[in-house]
Amino acid sequence: MDREPVPKKPRVGEEESNGLHSPVTLCHTAPSNELWYQESLKAPEAFWDQLAKERLEWIKPYDKVMDVDMNSGDIKWFINGVLNVTVNCLDRHARDNPDRVAVLWEKDEPKQHEPVTYKQLLDMTCQVANVLKSQGIRKGDRVVLYLPMIPLAIAIILACARIGAIHSIVFAGFSAEALSSRINDATAETVITADEGVRGGKTIPLKETVDTALKESPCVKRVLVATRTGAAVPMAAGRDHKLEELMKEESTECPPEPMDSEDPLFMLYTSGSTGKPKGILHTQAGYILYTGLTQQYVFDCRPGDVFACVADIGWITGHSYVIYGPLSNGVTTVLFESTPVYPDPGRYWEMTERLKVTQIYTSPTALRMLLKSTNEYVTKYDRSSLRILGCVGEPLNDKAWQWYYTVVGEGRCTVVDTWWQTETGGIMITPRPSANDSTPKPGYPMNPFFGIEPVLVDDKGEVITGNDVTGNLCIRKPWPSMARTIYGNHEKFLETYYRPYPGYYFTGDGAYRDKDGHYKITGRVDDVINVKGHRLGTAELESAMNRDGRVAETAVIGCPHDVYGQAILAFVILKDGVTDDEDSIITGLKAMVKTGVGSFAVPHKFLIVPGLPKTRSGKIMRRILRKIANNLYEELGDVSTLANPPVVNDIMQKWLKEA
Ligand code: WT7
């Protein structure tokens, strides 16, 4: 067969000598971009087969590469294969290079980092895995994690994978109530947390929040508590245990559980159009293959690299590019506990100099926040180790792109604006610098990754051909790390992703394909908003606020914000007869969101209005609210068909007065 060879023999490359590493054996021969891409679409089975055989260590080989029906949403990859992802992330590297640094923990405390080698991480993971087993946790059990960014968190995550338990990480910024609803949805019997977290010099009361959550989560039988600050926290007798104490009793060896390719690896909740967050489920082989592949090729990852994805492990970016992708490739991953502005806006670049970071992967919001300070915070540090500057979560606007490229990268590094989702498991549309891709264009994630075939579809479901066109972004071909289901609700999974456009995976985003065929994301086409790169369902925020007895109805929309991308704007209608002053109402609503979801989701602006624009059937016309909030009054269109036309003018007056 005439095909571009996938690199076979691992090649040890030039080692960057920063004293932290021993040589890595990551393959690094960049295949020709276009050829490889064409091949991946023409013969997907052969393409993925070769990669799965070469890149993964199997306990038992699979019989068939894939069995996927994009109409019915039945998805299986590497059928009947048996493996354990932790063998791929730990054992094989610890075997060859035990002293290579797996994790560089960048502590919240300025200028402090601690290395953890592959051998140490393997030992720690096995010890935790043995604790889990001693506690009676078995394959298929759900374990909820509410953790700070510490190396032990990675060992806990991998320990679940070691024994085949399904981890469900809940971002440590979520409230007790949000945590409890996720625990209950998964009917988890085990929660693992820490005494406290530390971020930006402040402590976060993790155990306390867990204790509050558990009042509403009777399914939980045990809580394991790791130590970060050593603060004294209440321990419920019989239920709570100090993790490190239990670890002392356990051996550092734990045989990996043989896992079927399609056994669940983890679930992760994300917001959709409806009120209830969805537990997106990912499985074993396809996920580990695709995250490793993208980590290597999108970031041009080479032996000796220090890869710094600064996302929290509570989001998919942290799962795929702090933990699974880089560790499966045996490279050094940075675990960043702090914030971009602690102790000052030079934090990323001071860290870059100290750790000799080669790739940094952050969010447009962080960049927009940083570019407000003087460039000296960047330029005073040596950034010559950097080669790739990555970004994810929301559109990277021109100003931020230019600043990243010119000031941070001195015009020498490639900017990769990567588009993907919790549901896709890994990066989907992105420049591919390892393969001499065309020069990235600001604001454009550019091109589909190997094996990915994006299509634009109009509202009737017709595929839009040609270039210089806009449409609903769908994906035509299956890829290994695609989500398999929504935990406990397969019907919802099909309804959300496979029924809107039969035969395609529907992303929920709109996109533009320019005259050269490059992609730009135009934003969500559903009621999901994206604030600081965090996805929030409007219905989720509304239902939290609607619990305030003084409120009749609320409607949340996203409006443009120069740092956050989108700010959250809440329209509020009060019940008849409520005479409380606006400040007290707003304070109350903020508290409602803080308890119902978390501080990070509190709306930035509230507008108390006499009514909301509705269709005759009672549906809120968010489109009209969005136009008003964007000051696009001429574009409101015909409002005479609304159930209550005058309300539009009332809202506009209120907006003009307060905006
Ligand atoms: C939504 C997914 C996947 C990691 C972070 C977010 C938006 C993501 C980009 C980008 C424009 C982007 C989309 C997508 N998004 N990356 N490069 N340009 N928009 O994961 O929470 O699942 O959110 O984030 O709207 O659907 P997520």
Query: Is residue 146 within 8 Å of residue 191, measured between CB atoms?
Result: yes
CA distances from 247 to 132, 135, 150, 230, 282 (A): 10, 11, 16, 16, 28
Beta carbon of 417 within 6 Å of any ligand 1 atom: yes
- Sign, CA torsion 296/118/23/84: negative
CA of 427 to the centre of ligand 1 (A): 10
CA distances from 602 to 175, 532, 559, 594 (A): 12, 12, 14, 6
Task: Kindly tell me the burial class for residue 581, based on how many C-beta atoms sit within 10 Å of its own C-beta (0-12, 13-18, 19 or more).
Answer: exposed
- In a mutational test of the pocket of ligand 1, which residue from 362, 505, 521, 528 has the highest number of ligand atoms less than 8 Å from its CB? 521
The whole-number pLDDT of residue 8 equals: 35
HSE value, Cβ hemisphere, 13 Å, CA-based, for 64: 7
Beta carbon of 603 within 6 Å of any ligand 1 atom: no
Beta carbon of 392 within 6 Å of any ligand 1 atom: yes
Beta carbon of 306 within 6 Å of any ligand 1 atom: no
Task: Kindly tell me the burial class for residue 438, based on how many C-beta atoms sit within 10 Å of its own C-beta (0-12, 13-18, 19 or more).
Answer: middle
Give SS3 for 36. Answer: helix
The residue whose CA is least distant from atom 12 of ligand 1 is 394
- In a mutational test of the pocket of ligand 1, which residue from 315, 418, 430, 509 has the highest number of ligand atoms less than 8 Å from its CB? 509
Q: Measure the CA–CA gap between 6 and 50, rounded to whole angstroms.
A: 8
How far, in whole angstroms, is CA 3 from its chain's centroid? 34
Beta carbon of 354 within 6 Å of any ligand 1 atom: no
Beta carbon of 537 within 6 Å of any ligand 1 atom: no
CA of 393 to the centre of ligand 1 (A): 4
Task: Give the tokens for residue 461.
Answer: 């479901």
The vertex-212 CA angle with 209 and 215, nearest 5°, equals 150
420 CA closest ligand 1 atom index: 3
Beta carbon of 535 within 6 Å of any ligand 1 atom: yes
Q: What is the pTM of this model?
A: 0.93
For each successive 10 residues of the chain (659 residues), what is the average pLDDT?
37 33 36 79 95 97 97 97 98 97 98 98 98 98 98 98 98 96 97 98 98 98 98 97 98 98 98 85 98 95 94 98 98 98 98 98 96 97 98 94 97 96 97 71 94 96 96 98 98 96 96 95 90 88 93 92 92 94 95 94 94 88 90 86 90 88
Beta carbon of 44 within 6 Å of any ligand 1 atom: no
417 CA closest ligand 1 atom index: 17
Beta carbon of 118 within 6 Å of any ligand 1 atom: no
CA of 519 to the centre of ligand 1 (A): 14
Query: Is residue 34 within 8 Å of residue 42, measured between CB atoms?
Result: no
297, containing H or E segment: helix 285-298
The residue whose CA is least distant from atom 17 of ligand 1 is 419
CA of 293 to the centre of ligand 1 (A): 19
HSE value, Cβ hemisphere, 13 Å, CA-based, for 161: 30
> CA dihedral defined by 30, 32, 34, 39, rounded to 10 degrees?
-90
534 CA closest ligand 1 atom index: 21
Q: Measure the CA–CA gap between 328 and 51, rounded to whole angstroms.
A: 13
Complex ipTM: 0.99
How many CB atoms sit inside 10 A of residue 12's CB? Answer: 12
